[in-house]
Amino acid sequence: MMQGMRFTLCLLLLLCAACAMKPPAQEMSDARSAIKTAQQLPSGDNTSKADRYLQSAEQALDQAAEAMRAEQYDRARNKALEARRNAQEAARIKQSNK
């Protein structure tokens, strides 16, 4: 009886851990979309600052993709979120220069 409960508990914990290690597909998609949006905006006075944020976003997305290939999903998620933030900042800078 006790051994059956332990087995069930271990199985449940294993399933929970597997669910937590889901690839961050949505975060990657959001980052790509934010980068594309920022790239399509016209440049203004602070072009170099916006370009630095955009370049940083692209690098973070590349690092996220590498982490995905290595099945390091937490790192991939964090890098994808970083990429989205940087792309959004680049877009904000470009829009403020209209």
- DSSP class of 43: P
Q: Looking at the predicted structure, is the pLDDT value of residue 63 above 90?
A: yes
Per-residue confidence (pLDDT) for residue 59, from 0 to 100? 99
Cα separation of 34 and 84, whole Å?
6
pLDDT in tens, 4-44: 777 787 767 766 665 567 999 999 999 999 999 999 999 87
Q: Spell out the domain ranges in the chain.
A: 23-96
**Helix-, strand-, coil-residue percentages of the chain, each rounded to 5:** 85, 0, 15
Count of CB atoms within 10 A of residue 25's CB?
13
Closest by Cα among 29, 34, 77, 26 to 53 = 34
3-state DSSP of 66-89: HHHHCCCHHHHHHHHHHHHHHHHH
pLDDT score at 55: 98
Q: Which position has the token pair 């508990």?
A: 9
